[in-house]
Structure 1
Amino acid sequence: MNKNNLIRDLKRYQLERYQCNGRLKWVSIAAVLTGMYSVYMFLFELNDGFGIAFVGALITGGLIFYFIQLMDMRSKITQELDCICLKLFGKIYSLSSNEIININLE
């Protein structure tokens, strides 16, 4: 593979990893908030809260499932970044930050 193609792929995967990290942050915040709300409704609103607590628990479960999928996607992206950095610099992605910053397109 051509060096310019590897650099282009490196930049694309870095952007995908950055976007995935942002989604992970917001999904984890949403899962914690809906989980706390479900627990509150279940414990303190005994008469009216069971249905809402159940729906909140379903939403929390869905968010946790999505969180796991995002973690898997991020690990696959990191593997691709490791492969590209090994070809370009001879190091894995986490050790190649100085080389990535100083990269030149020829």
Structure 2
Amino acid sequence: MLRILSVGVAFVLLGCQFFNKTTLHLKYKDYPKNSALKTASTLTPPKIFFNAHFVPPFYQKEFKKALAQQIAYFLKDKSAFTFNVSGNVFFLLKRILKI
């Protein structure tokens, strides 16, 4: 009985240690730093808004950094097609309550 109880406690402690933390791993290419932009227009950074209750501030900064670097990489990539993009992107993340 004691052995079963100790194994159960060990699983609970390990589960809390490994599965309780929320993690975010963003992987993106590094854009070439010495190449010139292909366009002559001035670019403004995108305005990104997050629901602060759903996305913690640290992850908001990581998302913004990853998006900015991907946009810069796309604009500086010599093999990319040349076209104008404009529009809005809307992400909706809902928290579903389990009862």
Taking structure 1 as the reference length, what is the TM-score of the superposition?
A: 0.30
Structure number with greater CO (CA < 8 Å, separation at least 6) is 2
Taking structure 2 as the reference length, what is the TM-score of the superposition?
A: 0.32
Larger Rg: 2
